[in-house]
Amino acid sequence: MLAAGLAALAVGGAARLALTRPLPGTVSVVVASESVAIGAPLGPAVLQVRELPADAVPEGSVHALASVAGRSAASVLSPGEVVTGADLDAGGLLTGHGPEMTAIFLPLAEPAVLSAVRAGTHVDVHSPIDGAVAVGGALVLAVWSGEAGGVWLGLPPPGAAALAAARGADPAGGSLIVSILQPAG
């Protein structure tokens, strides 16, 4: 009887291990476990991690629940929908930057610029008319290389206002010029 009990325990343990181990060719992604409204807080109550075939995972997918903790939904999520960076509020970009930092999106049409900048890079934004610096020393918070690529820049409110004014002459923002600054140090 003891042998039968130990055998059942071993089989149950092996089955649990097989069910929790990712299959080859799959990727862990965060998905909505129920319908999520815009602005709803994100976390384990409404999200879960699933293994999906790598070729079925959209670009920009979120892979860990911890990376969305405390964020809010920027779009409606349906049950089973893979969460991507585009589904997250931009407010999380400002975490740890203090109350005097704002985030402003700058569309960039140049793929070479998008591939050269990374979060943490400092840039100047120049007018296409005379090359004057419209905004200096902006911190790149995130790079969006989706269909309409661009960068999220961290600026104090006066810098954000200056960038908005510079974009006023060019609403698409495509002609503003970005230069990368030398790292401090």
pTM, entire model: 0.57
Structure tokens at 146: 């989706």
- 19 or 135, which is more confident: 135
pLDDT at residue 17 in the model: 44
pLDDT at residue 7 in the model: 54
The 10s digit of each residue's pLDDT in 6-54 is 555 555 554 454 445 556 789 999 999 999 888 888 999 999 999 999 9
User: What secondary structure does DSSP assign to the chain, as a single string?
Assistant: -HHHHHHHHHHHHHHHHHHHSPPTTEEEEEEESS-B-TTPBPSTTTEEEEEEEGGGSPTTB---GGGGTT-BBSS-B-TTPBPBGGGB-GGGGGTTS-TT-EEEEEE---HHHHHH--TT-EEEEE-TTT--EEEEEEEEEEEE-STT-EEEEEE-HHHHHHHHHHHHT-TT-TT-EEEEPPPP-
